[in-house]
Amino acid sequence: MSDDKVRFDRVTKTFPVRAGRRASAGAVTALDQLTLGVRPGEFLVVVGPSGCGKSTLLDLLGGLSRPTSGEVLVDGRPVTGPGLDRGIVFQQYALLPWRTAAGNVAFGLEAKGVPRAERAELVAHHLDLVGLGGFAERYPHELSGGMKQRVAIARSLAYDPDILLMDEPFAALDAQTRDSLQDELVRIWQHTGKTIVFITHGIDEAVYLGQRVAVMTSRPGRIKQVIEIGLGDRGATEDVRSSDAFRHHRHEIWTLLRDEVRAAQSAERPPARPTVGRPGRTPWRALLDRSTPAPDHPGRSADTRPGPAEPVDVGQPPRAAAPEAGRSAGTAGDGGRTPAVADADADRAAPAATRTEEARVG
Closest CA to 146 of 178, 119, 124: 178
Please spell the DSSP secondary structure of 227-268, one letter per residue: EEP----GGGSS-GGGSHHHHHHHHHHHHHHHHHHHHHHHHH
Which DSSP category does 316 fall into? S
* Lowest mean pLDDT segment, chosen from 39-48, 83-92, 111-120, 267-276: 267-276
Share of the chain above pLDDT 90, in %: 41
What share of the chain in percent tops pLDDT 70?
69
pLDDT higher than threshold 50 for residue 359: no
Compare 55 and 25 and report the one with higher pLDDT: 55
Separation CA 131–CA 237 (nearest Å): 22
Instruction: Examine the pLDDT at 249 and tell me if it is beyond 90.
Output: yes
Give tens-digit pLDDT for 49-91.
Answer: 888 889 999 999 999 999 999 999 999 999 999 988 899 888 8
Strand segments, DSSP code E, in 201-345 are 212-216, 223-228
Across 260-291, b (16+ Cβ under 10 Å) vs e yields bbeebeeeeeeeeeeeeeeeeeeeeeeeeeee
What is the per-residue pLDDT for 327? 47
- Among 105, 214, 198, 200, which residue's Cα sits nearest to residue 159? 105
Predicted model pTM: 0.70
Sorted by sequence, the CB contacts under 8 Å of residue 309 that are 6+ apart come out as none
Q: Which CATH number fits domain 1-17+27-85+163-269: 3.40.50.300, 3.40.50.720, 3.90.1150.10, 2.60.120.560?
A: 3.40.50.300
Is the per-residue pLDDT at 344 higher than 50?
no
CB–CB of 197/85 below 8 Å? no
Q: Please give the average per-residue pLDDT across 9-37, as a whole number.
A: 82
CA 132, 133, 139: angle at the middle one, nearest 5?
60
Residue 46 is predicted with a pLDDT of 96
Decide if pLDDT at 33 tops 70: yes
Q: Inform me whether the pLDDT recorded for 47 exceeds 80.
A: yes
Give the confidence band of 23 by pLDDT, cuts at 50, 70, 90: low
Cβ-contact 251, 219 below 8 angstroms: no
The domain limits of the chain are 1-17+27-85+163-269, 96-160
Does the pLDDT of residue 194 top 70, yes or no?
A: yes
80-84, 233-237, 265-269, 352-356, range with the lowest pLDDT: 352-356
Residue 262: pLDDT band with limits 50, 70, 90: confident
E strand or H helix at 10, and its extent? Answer: strand 6-17
Partners of residue 214 on adjacent β-strands: 46, 226
**Which has the higher per-residue pLDDT, 231 or 165?**
165
